Structure 1
Amino acid sequence: MSLNDEVTAVQRCLDELGRALGRLESHLGDRDLELRRIRTDAAHLRESVTLLRDAHPVERPRPEVVRIPDAPYDASLWKGADEEGLGACDRRAP
């Protein structure tokens, strides 16, 4: 599995934990101190997973490598082109 898949799996587990805590809360009420602590811890975990995902963005495929030959280029490719900073070949620089 990729890192993105693993982080998504952790987020799904945290979602399930939140649903389970909601069911517990319906039985115990929202005044139970331990349940509030667990809910706060789960919120911190959710924030940490979000920070982890932001710190390691989705893995993107590497761009294809373009090989540049060592052989010299055909000089006719630059016929009539200006020299950078000097102007055209047939004119004098200022």
Structure 2
Amino acid sequence: MSTSEMLELNRTIDRLRRCVGSLRSMYGDAAPVRRLDNDLERLEIDARELDSSPPRTSRPSEERIKVSDTPYDASMWRGVDDEGLGGLHYGRE
């Protein structure tokens, strides 16, 4: 991530930490508050990990499938409806 993105992420985590602290003062040591605190800890761990690793700059290569330009065998279409043309029935040769 860029420096500005990491700074914004860390600021947001800090704001969430303050908010969860306020919730703790209202709800005490309730299970949902403990889960939020655990989630924040995981966010901090992931943010540190992202900050210490370089971002990927290139896209992974995608497998390409070659499609032949040669015409299909006309017998392959014998007896098939042309659904895109309203289901016309006519002989193909």
Q: SS state of the match for residue 56, structure 1?
A: coil
> What is the RMSD of the two structures over their aligned residues, measured on CA atoms?
1.6
Cα distance in structure 2, aligned partners of 1:29 and 1:14: 21
Q: Deviations over 1:2-39 (max 9, x none)?
A: 71110110010000000000011000002x10110111
Stretches of structure 1 that go unaligned for 5 or more consecutive residues are: 58-94
Cα distance in structure 2, aligned partners of 1:8 and 1:55: 15
Which residue is 2:54 aligned to? 56
Cα distance in structure 2, aligned partners of 1:8 and 1:43: 17
Which residue is 1:14 aligned to? 13
Q: Deviations over 1:57-94 (max 9, x none)?
A: 8xxxxxxxxxxxxxxxxxxxxxxxxxxxxxxxxxxxxx
Kindly, what percent of the aligned residue pairs are identical? 29
TM-score normalised by the chain length of structure 2: 0.56
| Pairs aligned (count) | 55
Cα distance in structure 1, aligned partners of 2:9 and 2:40: 12
TM-score normalised by the chain length of structure 1: 0.55
**Which residue identity does 2:27 align to in structure 1?**
L
1:39 to 37, 40, 45: 37
